[in-house]
Structure 1
Amino acid sequence: MDESERSAPGQVTIYSIQGCPHCVQAKATLRSLSVPLRVVNVDSQSELKMKLKELTGRSTVPQIFFNSVHVGGNDDLLKLSPEELQRLVTLVKEEPFSMDALPLPDKNPSVDTSRAIDRATEPSLLLREMILKLFSEHLSADGKSVDYTGMSVNPAFEHYCELAIQLQRVELLSLSREEKLAFFINIYNALVIHGYLRLGAPTNMWQRYRFFNYVSYFIGGEVFTLQDIENGVLRGNRKGVAQLRRPFSNTDPRLQVALPDAEPLVHFALNCGAKGCPPIKAYAPEDIDNQLRRAAEAFLEKDDGCVVDSGTGEVRLSQIFKWYKADFGGTDEKMLKWVLDHMEDSPKKSSLQGVLSAGKTKVSFLPYDWSSNSYHRA
Structure 2
Amino acid sequence: MDERVICEGNFVLSSKTQASATSPCDVPSKDEGNLSTVMESININEEDHNELNKQKHEAKNLDQVLKQQEKASTVLDGQNLTEVNQLSEGVTVEEKDADPVFDGTEAPELETDKAFSSQNMDPADPEVQVYAWPEKAVALRNFVREKSAVAVSTMLRRLSSKKNQEELGDYNDIVTKGHDKDQDVETDSKENKVSPKDGEQSLWNPLNFMKIRRNADSQSKTDHLEHASFDNLLQETIQRRIIVYTRLGCQECRMVRSLLNMKRLKYVEINIDIFPTRKLELEKRTGSSVVPKVYLNDFLVGGLDELKAMDESGQLDEKIKDLFIEESIPTAPLPPLPGEDDESGNGTIDDMASIVRKMKESIIIKDRFYKMRRFSNCFVGSEAVNFLSEDQYFEREEAVEFGRKLVGMHFFQHITNENIFEDGSHLYRFLEHDPVIMTQCYNFPRGVIEVKPKPITEIASRLRFLSYAIIEAYVSEDGRHVDYRSIHSCEEFKRYLRTIEELQRVDLEPLSREEKLAFFINLYNMMAIHAILTLGFPARALERRTFFGDFKYVIGGCAYSLSAIHNGILRGNQRPPYNITKPFGQRDKRIKVAFPYPEPLVHFALVCGTRSGPALRCYSPGNIDKELIESARDFIKTGGLFVDSESSVASITKILRWYSVDFGKNEVEVLKHAANYLEPQKSEDLLELLSSTQLKVTYQPYDWSANY
State TM-score, norm by structure 1. Answer: 0.67
Q: Does 1:275 align with 2:615?
A: no
Pairing partner for 1:266 from 602, 626, 639: 602
Q: Distance between the aligned counterparts of 2:508 and 2:252, measured in 1?
A: 34
Structure 2 counterpart of 1:361, one-letter code: L
Q: 1:366 to 1:163 in 2, by over 3 A?
A: same
Task: Tell me if structure 2 keeps the 8 A contact 1:332–1:363.
Answer: no
Query: For 1:40-81, what per-residue CA distance to the aligned partner results, in whole angstroms no more than 9, with x for missing partners?
Result: x9x99xxxxxxxxxxxxxxxxxxxxxxxxxxxxxxxxxxxxx
Structure 1 runs, 4 residues or longer, greater than 4 Å off: 23-29
Structure 1 counterpart of 2:674, one-letter code: V
Pairing partner for 1:329 from 664, 667, 683: 664
Identical aligned residues as a percent: 39
Query: For 1:148-185, what per-residue CA distance to the aligned partner results, in whole angstroms no more than 9, with x for missing partners?
Result: 01111112211110111111243211111111110000
Task: Tell me if structure 2 keeps the 8 A contact 1:213–1:226.
Answer: yes
Q: Distance between the aligned counterparts of 1:286 and 1:217, measured in 2?
A: 25
Pairing partner for 1:176 from 509, 512, 515: 512
Determine helix, strand or coil for the equivalent of 1:152.
helix
Q: Distance between the aligned counterparts of 1:336 and 1:365, measured in 2?
A: 12
Q: Distance between the aligned counterparts of 1:343 and 1:220, measured in 2?
A: 39
Aligned twin of 2:703: 369
Uncovered stretches (5+) of structure 2, i.e. residues with no partner:
1-246, 260-270, 275-346, 348-452
Structure 2 counterpart of 1:319, one-letter code: K
Q: 1:211 to 1:327 in 2, by over 3 A?
A: same
Structure 2 counterpart of 1:143, one-letter code: G
Task: Tell me if structure 2 keeps the 8 A contact 1:124–1:170.
Answer: no
Task: Tell me if structure 1 keeps the 8 A contact 2:454–2:506.
Answer: no
Q: CA deviation at 1:344?
A: 4.1
Q: CA deviation at 1:189?
A: 0.2
- Mapping for residues 338-357 of structure 1, pairs under 5 Å: 338-345=673-680, 347-357=681-691
Q: Distance between the aligned counterparts of 1:344 and 1:187, measured in 2?
A: 31
Query: For 1:275-329, what per-residue CA distance to the aligned partner results, in whole angstroms no more than 9, with x for missing partners?
Result: 10000101011121111111111111112x0110111211111010111011111
- Mapping for residues 127-142 of structure 1, pairs under 5 Å: 127-142=463-478
Task: Tell me if structure 2 keeps the 8 A contact 1:296–1:343.
Answer: no
Q: Distance between the aligned counterparts of 1:317 and 1:330, measured in 2?
A: 17
Q: Distance between the aligned counterparts of 2:636 and 2:643, measured in 1?
A: 11
Aligned twin of 2:636: 300
Aligned twin of 2:487: 151
Q: Distance between the aligned counterparts of 1:138 and 1:167, measured in 2?
A: 25
Pairing partner for 2:541 from 196, 205, 230: 205
Q: 1:27 to 1:198 in 2, by over 3 A?
A: closer
- Mapping for residues 95-174 of structure 1, pairs under 5 Å: 121=455, 122-174=458-510
Q: CA deviation at 1:130?
A: 1.0
Structure 2 counterpart of 1:144, one-letter code: R
Task: Tell me if structure 2 keeps the 8 A contact 1:123–1:170.
Answer: no
Aligned twin of 1:316: 651
Determine helix, strand or coil for the equivalent of 1:286.
helix
Q: Distance between the aligned counterparts of 1:264 and 1:25, measured in 2?
A: 35
Pairing partner for 2:591 from 238, 255, 264: 255
Q: Distance between the aligned counterparts of 1:273 and 1:232, measured in 2?
A: 20
Q: Distance between the aligned counterparts of 2:254 and 2:496, measured in 1?
A: 26
Uncovered stretches (5+) of structure 1, i.e. residues with no partner:
1-16, 33-40, 45-116
Q: CA deviation at 1:340?
A: 1.4
Task: Tell me if structure 2 keeps the 8 A contact 1:178–1:285.
Answer: yes
Q: CA deviation at 1:351?
A: 2.8
Determine helix, strand or coil for the equivalent of 1:161.
helix
Task: Tell me if structure 1 keeps the 8 A contact 2:676–2:683.
Answer: no
Q: CA deviation at 1:257?
A: 0.4
Determine helix, strand or coil for the equivalent of 1:308.
strand
Determine helix, strand or coil for the equivalent of 1:364.
strand
Aligned twin of 2:627: 291
Pairing partner for 2:556 from 205, 216, 220: 220
Q: CA deviation at 1:126?
A: 1.1
Q: CA deviation at 1:219?
A: 0.8
Structure 1 counterpart of 2:629, one-letter code: R
Q: CA deviation at 1:349?
A: 2.2
Structure 2 counterpart of 1:307, one-letter code: F
Q: 1:372 to 1:173 in 2, by over 3 A?
A: same
Q: CA deviation at 1:25?
A: 10
Larger Rg: 1 or 2? 2
Query: For 1:125-150, what per-residue CA distance to the aligned partner results, in whole angstroms no more than 9, with x for missing partners?
Result: 11111111111111111111110011
Determine helix, strand or coil for the equivalent of 1:217.
strand
Aligned twin of 1:193: 529
Q: 1:26 to 1:309 in 2, by over 3 A?
A: farther
Task: Tell me if structure 1 keeps the 8 A contact 2:668–2:690.
Answer: no
Structure 1 counterpart of 2:611, one-letter code: K
- The CA RMSD measured in Å over matched residues stands at 2.6
Larger mean Cα displacement after TM superposition, 276-285 or 359-368: 359-368
Q: Distance between the aligned counterparts of 1:220 and 1:269, measured in 2?
A: 24
Aligned residues: 270
Q: Give the helix-richer structure, 1 or 2.
A: 2
Q: Distance between the aligned counterparts of 2:490 and 2:608, measured in 1?
A: 22
Structure 2 counterpart of 1:204, one-letter code: R
Structure 1 counterpart of 2:513, one-letter code: R
Q: Distance between the aligned counterparts of 2:479 and 2:623, measured in 1?
A: 20
Structure 2 counterpart of 1:318, one-letter code: T
Task: Tell me if structure 2 keeps the 8 A contact 1:123–1:169.
Answer: no
Larger mean Cα displacement after TM superposition, 166-175 or 138-147: 166-175
Q: Distance between the aligned counterparts of 1:24 and 1:301, measured in 2?
A: 24
State TM-score, norm by structure 2. Answer: 0.36
Aligned twin of 2:207: none
Aligned twin of 1:11: none
